[in-house]
Amino acid sequence: MTHSNFLPVNKQDMIERGWDYVDFVYVIGDAYVDHPSFGHAVISRVLESRGYRVGIISQPDWKKPESVQVFGEPRLGFLVSAGNMDSMVNHYSVSKKHRKTDAYTPGGEMGKRPDYACVVYGNLIRQTYKKTPVILGGIEASLRRLAHYDYWSDRLKRSVLLDSGADIISYGMGERSIAEIADALDAGIPVSELTYIDGTVVKIKDRDSIYDAEFLPSFEELKADKKSYARSFYAQYLNTDAFNGKRLAEQYSEHLFAVQNPPAKPLSTAEMDDIYDLPYTRTYHPSYEKKGGIPAISEIRFSLISSRGCFGGCSFCALTFHQGRIVQVRSHESLLREAELITKEKNFKGYIHDVGGPTANFRHPSCRKQLEHGVCRNRQCLFPKPCRNLDADHSDYVSLLKKLRQIPGVKKVFIRSGIRFDYLLADKNKDFLKELCQYHVSGQLKVAPEHVAGPVLSLMGKPEHRVYEKFTDEFRRMNEKLGKKQYLVPYLMSSHPGSTLKEAVELAEYCRDLGYMPEQVQDFYPTPSTLSTCMYYTGVDPRTMKPVYVPKNPHEKAMQRALIQYRNPALYDLVAEALRRAGRTDLIGFGPKCLIRPKRGNDEPKKQLRPRKKKTIRNIHKKK
């Protein structure tokens, strides 16, 4: 692969292409990976397909203004993205400890991007280029587009548009809005006049020029009253649909408003195909080879993105804000073409790692009216139970998987994206469950019940636990029918809003009855722009305005996490304290229902429970 297959990353590359300028300079917090799983690759190739010249500046030194001057001043503007992850999630664990590696950086090296990368890069550009348009995009800008709670500083922050010095945010999946922005700038329209484009957030100084908008509480009001923020956030949540979403305005001062235009319309299948058929090199830039390449590519190199958007509606997920609830899909033909490209790659061993999206088994909108009228504002498709208008049908997905399995050189096609089990159960035809078990599971299938306690599941937007139990039963029976030994690995979450020690003990008892102790437990992480994060900050459910218990104390969070891993001797003291505080000392003893043994004097217990047959992931569901 020669450098000429990639977009230019320095002035020499630009000159070799015969260019004496670029239209856009794209500043990104990730390494340059020209693969459609990376947002910067998609946006840059979309612009290239429309005749624009794009230069890439990857992971510039944010302490040096000259690091963003590589190409000089672009003709139309700077594009800025923190990368495929929010820079703060990239840098810090939920306990706010520095992570040791960065999968989106050469060799996994940490520290090549700044905290709050959009803000830092925007201001870095502004030090030299005072008037050049700056357009923010990517997940960090998208989820911080209006006032938002920032977990790492533990305070409410302004729209990232204002703090970065940028002119406009292209939020969500930005192919439509970035093309419209580029064409308008190319036509000579000043960036200050680009106030009308769907899928953007802009700054407006005159209230009278804001038309047809719902005014949210001002930033000062939001800071003064958490309940005001909860109501404002829910208003934003109700306006994430491209068909019925309203224009929203948020005031910061007498002459400064952040205005969010309605979301961009979803892409048709033909438009999705066009985007994924662009001439990606499908790998990282060759300059990274000396450092060992980009670790993140291993997860996606042999995977297929078949859809975007999700109507699952989990409270702790930001997909509603970023991709929306309307599912958009690629055609079988487009996916088969990409699969054939994968089979020709040097290190392909015959295994397609995934065929999915935010939720693998969503391959069409949840009901027929959505592409004309949008999703329901005040109702969910699957929660608290499947809507009577839900079109639960896996036939298209099953047909696609069959075609992929028949491609020469393909030995196995796995599904590793999340499976929404309540949607699977809603499909009266069981063909997909059979196909899944027979062909697409590698011995273990990861699923996400998240919790077992009703109050917590309700706040999570997840189905009742009995629904998961029904799925485990059907999964077991299908594997028995096929003569296969395959097992479910449940993802569990601790310390979600609504979880007291009582609910945490209930989850521990479930793990005991299952005979399963997860090696890792996901402690709830309050990332920007989710319903759960709003609950964490405000202490109320923004949908009902009812109070919600929020475990914030680090010690309590450690106890909740320890309960799920009660078999670990290192966590004995935390588990014992949690059981005492919860009034469940009945679970400390020698009986079969006990979680831990009592201590003998000051000695640490050598064994948590009386000896019994070791449970493994291969027999945790035998009791079903």
pLDDT of amino acid 603: 52
User: Residues 443, 384: contact at Cβ < 8 Å?
Assistant: no
User: Residues 306, 329: contact at Cβ < 8 Å?
Assistant: yes
Give the separation between CA 339 and CA 345, rounded to whole angstroms. Answer: 10
pLDDT of amino acid 610: 43
- The pLDDT tens digits of the residues spanning 465-488 come to 999 999 999 999 999 999 999 999
In this model, does residue 378 exceed pLDDT 90?
Answer: no
Mean pLDDT confidence for 416-436: 95
Domains and CATH numbers, the chain: 3-260 (no CATH), 302-442 (3.30.750.210), 492-624 (no CATH)
Give the separation between CA 435 and CA 398, rounded to whole angstroms. Answer: 7
In this model, does residue 331 exceed pLDDT 80?
Answer: yes
pLDDT of amino acid 517: 82
Given its phi and psi angles, is residue 498 left (phi above 0), alpha (psi -120 to 50 degrees) or beta? left
Give the separation between CA 82 and CA 117, rounded to whole angstroms. Answer: 5
Quickly list DSSP for 382-405.
SSSS--TT-----HHHHHHHHHHH
- The pLDDT tens digits of the residues spanning 493-533 come to 999 999 999 999 999 999 999 888 887 789 999 999 999 99
Ranges 24-28, 349-353, 449-453, 597-601: which has the least confidence: 597-601
- Which residues have C-beta within 8 Å of that of residue 179, sequence separation ≥ 6? 46, 47, 50
User: Residues 227, 213: contact at Cβ < 8 Å?
Assistant: no
Ranges 190-194, 298-302, 579-583: which has the least confidence: 298-302
- The pLDDT tens digits of the residues spanning 52-71 come to 999 999 999 999 999 999 99
- Which residues have C-beta within 8 Å of that of residue 178, sequence separation ≥ 6? 43, 46, 47, 79, 135, 137, 170
- pLDDT category of residue 131 using cuts at 50, 70 and 90: very high
**Which residue is associated with the tokens 């690759």?**
41
At residue 92, what are phi and psi to the nearest 5 degrees? -130, 145
In this model, does residue 432 exceed pLDDT 60?
Answer: yes
In this model, does residue 454 exceed pLDDT 50?
Answer: yes
Tell me the pTM: 0.93
Give the separation between CA 101 and CA 112, rounded to whole angstroms. Answer: 10
Report angle CA 430, 436, 439 to the nearest 5 degrees: 130
Residue type, 390: L
Mean pLDDT confidence for 335-361: 95
Determine which helix (DSSP H) or strand (DSSP E) holds 149, and give its type and residue range. Answer: strand 148-150
pLDDT of amino acid 565: 95
Q: Provide, for the chain, the percentages of residues in helix, strand and coil under a 3-state DSSP scheme, each rounded to the nearest 5.
A: 35, 15, 50
